[in-house]
Amino acid sequence: MKAIMYHYVREDVETLPHFKHLHIDDFEQQLDFFGKEYGFVKKEEFLASFKTGMVPEGVVLTFDDGVADHYKFVYPALKKRNLWGIFYVPTKNFSGQILDVHRIHLLLGGFDAEVLTNSLNKLVTLEMLTDIGRKEFTGDTYKSQSNSEATLAFKRTLNYTIGYEYRSQILDTLMFDFFGPDKKFHDFYASPEMLREMALNDMIIGSHSRNHFVMSKLSEAEQSDEIKGSFLELEQVISDPKVKTFCYPYGGFHSFNETTEKILTEQGCLFSFNVEARDISNEDILGRPQALPRYDCNAFPFGKCRQ
Ligand SMILES: [Zn+2]
C-alpha cells in the first residue's frame, strides 16, 4: 500500500508567481494514473487493516495543512471519482491568523528568495538561532525537494534553527515590509464549516498539531499541548471524528521523537504519518503505526510543482 502526500493543489496564482503548488489539472491526471496503475484502497479496508494487520494493495491519499484548496479543488475532484482522503489540519488555522509556516510559503511565493534571505539576515542575530547546533536540522532537512540555496537558507532558518520565541515577530516584519500593511490573505484555510461538510461526506479529518511546530524542538509538555489540544479543538469542529489520526509537521525522522509517539499512543491515536518515502507494510501497521511512511506526490507522474 502506498500513502501519497499533497499540500497545495490549485490553479496558478498570478499574484504569487513562485508559489509552489500542484496544478489541479495535474492532480486530476495523477488520480487517473493511480487508478490505472495501482487502484485505490477503500476506506473500510484501510481502517480494518489496523485490526487485521493485513495491508491491502493500492493507494491512500493524504492532504496536509488544511488549506482552502482542499475544499475548493481536491474535495470535488475526489467526490467526482467516489474517492476519499485524509486531511490533516493544524487547528490554529481557525484563529483568523496565517500560521508562520504558511507565511514563509507566501513570502517565497511572492518574492525573490535571495532578496528575502538578505532581509532575513538583517533581522536575525546569532542568539536567536538557538537550534543551529542540531545537525539533523541543518543536514537532513529538505533533501527530497529541489530548492535554490537562498530558498533553503530562508526555510531552514525560519522553520528549524531559529528559536520559536523570535520567529513570529520576524515574520511580522517581513510580511509588512514585502506585502505592505494592508495585504490580507482571506480564505487561505478551509473553514470549520467546510471541514464539517467534508467529514460528513466520507473524508477523514486528522490532526496536524495546533501550531505546525517541529515537535522535536518542543518540551514534552509543549508537545502534549500541541497534540491533546489539537485533538480537542478538532472534536469541537467535527462533532464525531470517528478516527483519531495525526501527521507530523515537516514529518522527517528529525521532526519528532519517542516522546511524540508515546503521547500519540496514549491519546488513542490510531495511526500517524511521517514522510519516509516507501510502501506501508504489514509490519509497519502492527509494529509502528505512529510512524507510517508516505510518498510525496512528486515521486510519481504528474506530481511535480509547475513553479
Ligand atoms: Zn504541514
pLDDT, tens only, 98-119: 999 999 999 999 999 999 999 9
Q: Give me ligand 1 centre to Cα 18, in Å.
A: 19
Q: Are strands 295-296 and 22-23 parallel, antiparallel or unpaired?
A: unpaired
Band (141; pLDDT cuts 50, 70, 90): low
Which cell is 225 given?
Answer: 499541548
Q: Give me ligand 1 centre to Cα 141, in Å.
A: 14
What local confidence, expressed as pLDDT, does residue 173 receive?
97
- Spatial distance between the Cα atoms of 140 and 176, rounded to a whole number of angstroms: 31
- Encode pLDDT of 36-71 as tens digits: 999 999 999 999 999 999 999 999 999 999 999 999
Output the pTM of the full model.
0.95
Q: Give me ligand 1 centre to Cα 292, in Å.
A: 16
Q: What would be the CATH architecture of the domain defined by 2-96+189-299?
A: Alpha-Beta Barrel (3.20)
Residue in 295, 298, 216 with CA at minimum distance from that of residue 259? 216
3-class SS of residue 42: coil
Gyration radius (Cα) of the chain, Å: 19
Cα 299 to Cα 93, 140, 163, 261, 292, distances in angstroms: 28, 18, 32, 27, 17
Q: Give me ligand 1 centre to Cα 300, in Å.
A: 20
- Spatial distance between the Cα atoms of 209 and 269, rounded to a whole number of angstroms: 12
Q: At residue 210, what are phi and psi to the nearest 5 degrees?
A: -90, -55
Query: Is the pLDDT assigned to residue 140 strictly greater than 70?
Result: no
Q: Give me ligand 1 centre to Cα 106, in Å.
A: 14
Q: Give me ligand 1 centre to Cα 86, in Å.
A: 13
What local confidence, expressed as pLDDT, does residue 15 receive?
86
Which sequence spans correspond to the domains of the chain? 2-96+189-299, 100-179
State the average pLDDT over residues 245-267: 96
Percent of the chain beyond pLDDT 70? 97
Percent of the chain beyond pLDDT 90? 87
Average pLDDT, the chain: 94
Alpha helices, DSSP H only, in 57-187? Answer: 69, 75-80, 100-110, 113-123, 135-139, 149-156, 164-179
State the average pLDDT over residues 222-234: 97
